[in-house]
A and B are shown apart, each in its own frame.
Chain A
Amino acid sequence: MQEQDLIERIRTGDPRAFKELYESSVTMVYNVCFRMLGDPHDAEDVTQEVFFEAYKSLKRFRFESKLSTWLYRIAVNRSLNHQRKRKLERWLSLDFNASEDGTDNLDVPDASEESPNGMMEKKDTERIVQEAIGKLPERQRTALLLHRYEDLSYQEIAKIMDVSVASVESLLHRAKQTLAKNLLSLNKEL
């Protein structure tokens, strides 16, 4: 009911209503984009795209799913489009050295209470895991990120990705199998 009221207020042009939506969802959207793209600047650009798209499309929202599910879906699709566009641009500019999973720009959250050694280990762990996840096929990576980092259920992931629950299970199982191999291989390289 609260969601419905909020959307009705946005549709009638209430500027505070859209800001309320933004403030309640921006962290969630930004984190999905960051996990998918691995770069904080790209994540901000895509987050802006997501909310802009939401602003334009809220008139057509039919309450067939939760508002958060709808926003997740836009965030995932926009992030994938952005990634594909970047890949094409890199190929056309013959720049084959740039990292595809964004681990070059990985930004670890500030943990000022940690010792320098602790910070380095944390950064290494983050980088290895992010790099290993970045090597997964697109759909496996998406399912894994939504399950692991957004704590979404199989049903919610199925709605976001527009697949069956059985497909989500299968994607997650295969993702973890491949990821185990990638993690062990990357850890050996260190």
Chain B
Amino acid sequence: MTHTEIQQQLLRYLDGDLPDETMQQIREHLSACPICAERHTVLASLWLSESRLEKRKPSPFLWTRLQARIKEYEQTPAFVWDLRRTVQGIPLRPFPALAVLAAIVLGIYIGTPRESQNYGHRQLASQSSAAVEELGLDQFDVLPPGALGSTLVRISNTQK
């Protein structure tokens, strides 16, 4: 057996839960291998010293609480009791996770560019070009800034 296999069997060895032949093999290995022997000592100190059969007692008020619950059950109609149990079974603390999910969904919605917004800009630009041609404003290269005509020429030039 390898060192790893020996170490994996140590708890069963401590419990005497192995065939005699395997117990003997492990015993011989432990007497010759200081590393496995050290691990055996550590496991023995943890596994064997734990007070496994010591029994804890519940609170003496548990019986009182149980009696109260049984009394309530006896006095409540069955369908009301079942409905209450169903509602109580729903986890009531999902809000942080739901808030994160809502923030992610909202972020995706806001960040996604809208097709209708692009269409509006293109429509405005094509209308401005048409207005420049109709009014003959393209012959005016230099116009005072802020004039309506200068704005229409600028848009028209951008489209070209």
Which A residues lie at the B interface, using CB under 8 A? Answer: 19, 22, 26-27, 30-31, 34, 40, 43-44, 47-48, 51-52, 55-56, 85, 88-89, 91-94, 107, 109, 122, 125-126, 128-129, 148-149, 151, 173, 176-177, 179-181, 183-184, 187
Main secondary structure of the interface of B (DSSP, over half): helix
14 chain-A/chain-B pairs, Cβ below 8 angstroms: A19-B63, A27-B58, A44-B59, A47-B62, A52-B70, A56-B73, A94-B100, A109-B51, A125-B45, A149-B53, A151-B53, A176-B17, A179-B11, A184-B42
Main secondary structure of the interface of A (DSSP, over half): helix
Given contacts A47-B62, A129-B46, contact A31 B55 (CB under 8 A): yes
A128 touches B12 (CB 8 A): no
- Tell me the residues in window 43-99 of chain B with beta carbons closer than 8 Å to chain A beta carbons: 43, 45-47, 49-59, 62-63, 65-66, 69-70, 73, 91, 93-97
Tell me the smallest distance from the CB of B94 to a CB of chain A, in Å. 4
> Is B7 part of the binding interface, using a Cβ–Cβ cutoff of 8 Å?
yes
Tell me the smallest distance from the CB of A113 to a CB of chain B, in Å. 13
Tell me the smallest distance from the CB of B24 to a CB of chain A, in Å. 19
Complex: A183 Cα to B57 Cα, angstroms: 27
Complex: A87 Cα to B49 Cα, angstroms: 31
> Is B8 part of the binding interface, using a Cβ–Cβ cutoff of 8 Å?
yes
Q: In the complex, which of the residues B10, B56, B62, B73 contacts A109, with contact meaning CB atoms closer than 8 Å?
A: B56
With a cutoff of 8 Å between Cβ atoms, the chain A residues found around residue B9 in the complex are: 177, 180
In the A-B complex, the 8 residue pairs with the smallest Cβ-Cβ separation, listed nearest first, are A176-B11, A93-B93, A92-B94, A30-B58, A177-B8, A94-B96, A92-B97, A180-B11
Q: How many contacting A-B pairs (Cβ < 8 A)?
A: 100
Which B residues lie at the A interface, using CB under 8 A? Answer: 7-12, 15, 17, 39, 42-43, 45-47, 49-59, 62-63, 65-66, 69-70, 73, 91, 93-97, 100
A122 touches B51 (CB 8 A): yes
Beyond A85-B91, A173-B12, 15 additional pairs, beta carbon < 8 A:
A48-B62, A48-B65, A52-B69, A52-B70, A89-B91, A93-B97, A94-B96, A94-B100, A109-B51, A125-B45, A176-B17, A177-B9, A183-B47, A187-B42, A187-B46
